[in-house]
Structure 1
Amino acid sequence: MKKLRAVIIDDETNARQALSNLLQLLCPDVDLVGEAKNVDLGIELIKNEKPDLIFLDIQMPGKTGFDLLAAFGKAEFGVIFTTAYQEYAIRAFRLSAIDYLLKPIDPDELQVAVGKYKAQLVGVSPQQVKILQEYIDEPRQSSLSQRTKNLHQRIALPTAGGIHFVQMTDIIQCESLGSYTKFHLVGSKPIVVSRLLKEYEEIMDNYYFFRVHQSNIVNLEHIKRYVKGDGGQVWLSDNTEVEVSRRRKEEFLALLSDFYVNSGKIV
């Protein structure tokens, strides 16, 4: 099998060396054809070597990894970001469906990331990079009253047929289908993604979403009515009914009340 040609672009010498060593030990099907310590040298390296895959740091002196990708428009190569970002930034990578490795790089995670690229052999789209940059730049927020409501915020949903870019406000609910998650959307067919509902619960909790039941996350903006009961039910904008679990009822009602107060809507 043909080896993957790869380059590393990172301003830290130790980081480049550590990744190079791991690739040599764990990924024999990856041929490291060059390294660069900044964006300008990285652009030149990519043009000369035409790699299949680049390992790219985000924060580098002068210019960022985003600047490098902007120089190529639609990337014909795969990208795995290597970053020291923690916590809130992980959400940004997941929302944009772009692979990443946290420093110090875990050997198992490196093998998984390379394996995923080999299985797909696709580059990163400008839309994915834009979503990543938007979320990376977004301030960390905690309470509902502080959460950003931005009609242009989007999420990338990877499917077997390609990546779908969906506005957060168009998501009515997310439904668990075992190892898959089904996104119910405004004005279009549902999208099924090969990821657990729990993953989306973790990355969408900074927005107007709440897991009302083991099988459902709902968008508070699409709730038309709440019907009282043991746990109760919510009626959504597409006229579907979703159960609210008894153990989540109290937290859900408190969050729903805060949402209406902060959105200026009337219950």
Structure 2
Amino acid sequence: MSKFKSLLVDDEKHGRDNLRSMLTNYCPEISIAGEAASVAEAKGLIDQLNPDVVFLDILMPQYNGFDLLDHFPNRKFAVIFVSASIDFGIQALKAGVLDYVLKPISINELQHATAKISAFFDNRKKGNTETASKIALAHSNGFAIEEIANIVRLHADDNYTRVYTREGKQYLISKPLKDFERVLPADVFIRTHKSYMINIHFLKEFSNEDGGLVTLQDGYKVPVSKRKNSVFFDALKKFSLMIRP
């Protein structure tokens, strides 16, 4: 079994000790290359050790876990948050965190998180060679090339689909929504309703109001149908950011 080199970052020594013990005893695919008690120390060790995965506390003195990630905007390592706080789910989603383990640490949760590391690197390799970053949107006067990452939401309109971008552009495309569902990345674009698909990176808030409503960063509200409710939450779990008390 190939091992993934890890760095443990937590300002509390007993937190690092407990995590090290659990990884050693229950996660044989993880090797521990180093430990850091602060963001500054962690930054230096990441540059020095080049870890595959960083187990990162969020709330630390002076600088927090997100401050560390700001130093590595194009990071190649996976990040698993290990925190006592449940308040940073959406922010962690935006930061591209692989998983979010809540303290006190559950063995099952930790193993579930570490099991995702291999898929993380496999998907990255595939993404480097196979995944398109742009899409051609044909319209009545020709076509437009848009970055897939800029698509905020898609709305079915009979046999047409309305595509909305972060810049406020809107395209009416003569293809049904299911055609877009087949070609857009399934780990990013979620079908929340028979008439809607959203880019999870633009998710701002979820509410149980009216059976389920998602609010996007542009303020638009998208329904989550009962049939799609489990699909929606399963998708969030893949990002490991749907944390319930």
Task: Give aligned pairs, total.
Answer: 170
What root-mean-square deviation, in Å, do the aligned CA atoms of Structure 1 and Structure 2 show? 3.7
SS of residue paired to 1:108: helix
SS for the counterpart of 1:62 is coil
Q: How far apart are 1:216 and its partner, in Å?
A: 8.1
Structure 2 counterpart of 1:211, from 217, 220, 224: 224
Which deviates more, 8-17 or 206-215? 206-215
Q: What residue is the counterpart of 2:74 in the other structure?
A: 74
Cα deviation code 1:172-198 (max 9, x no counterpart): 37xxxxxxxxx9843483436367959
Q: Deviations over 1:37-59 (max 9, x none)?
A: 00011111112211111101122
Distance of aligned partners of 1:209 and 1:38 in 2 relative to their CA distance in 1, 3 Å threshold: same
Equivalence map 1:110-189=2 (5 Å):
110-121=110-121, 161=131, 165=149, 168=152, 170-172=153-155, 185-186=163-164, 187=171, 189=180
Structure 1: how far apart are the matches of 2:13 and 2:70?
A: 24
What is the identity percentage for the equivalent residue pairs of Structure 1 and Structure 2?
28
Alignment-derived partner of residue 89 in structure 2: 90
- Aligned partners of 1:172, 1:216: CA distance in 2, in Å? 17
- Matched residue SS, 1:121: helix
* Structure 2 stretches lacking a partner, 5+ long: 125-129, 134-147, 165-170, 174-179, 194-199, 208-213, 216-220, 231-245
**With CA pairs under 8 Å and 6+ residues apart, which has the higher RCO, 1 or 2?**
2
Q: 2:192–2:223: 8 Å Cα contact kept in structure 1?
A: no
| Distance (Å, rounded) in 2 between the aligned partners of 1:162 and 1:107 | 37
Contact 1:4 1:31 in 2 (8 A): yes
Residue 193 (str. 1) matches residue 176 (str. 2) = no
CA–CA distance in structure 1, aligned partners of residues 191 and 50 of structure 2 = 35
Contact 1:95-1:203 at 8 Å conserved across structures = no
**SS of the counterpart of 1:214?**
helix
Q: Which amino acid aligns with 1:214?
A: R
Which sits farther off after the overlay, 40-49 or 94-103?
94-103
Structure 2-normalised TM-score? 0.57
Shift of residue 16, structure 1, vs aligned partner: 0.9
Greater radius of gyration (CA):
1
1:95/1:167 CA distance change after superposition, 3 Å:
farther
> How big is the shift at 1:202?
11
Say if 2:97 is the partner of 1:104: no
1:35-50 matches, within 5 Å, as: 35-50=35-50
TM-score, L = length of structure 1 = 0.53
Measure, in 2, the Cα distance between the counterparts of 1:7 and 1:102: 18
Unmatched 5+ stretches in structure 1: 125-159, 174-182, 218-267
Equivalents in 2 of 1:73, 1:92: separation in Å? 15
Q: Secondary structure at the match of 2:224?
A: strand
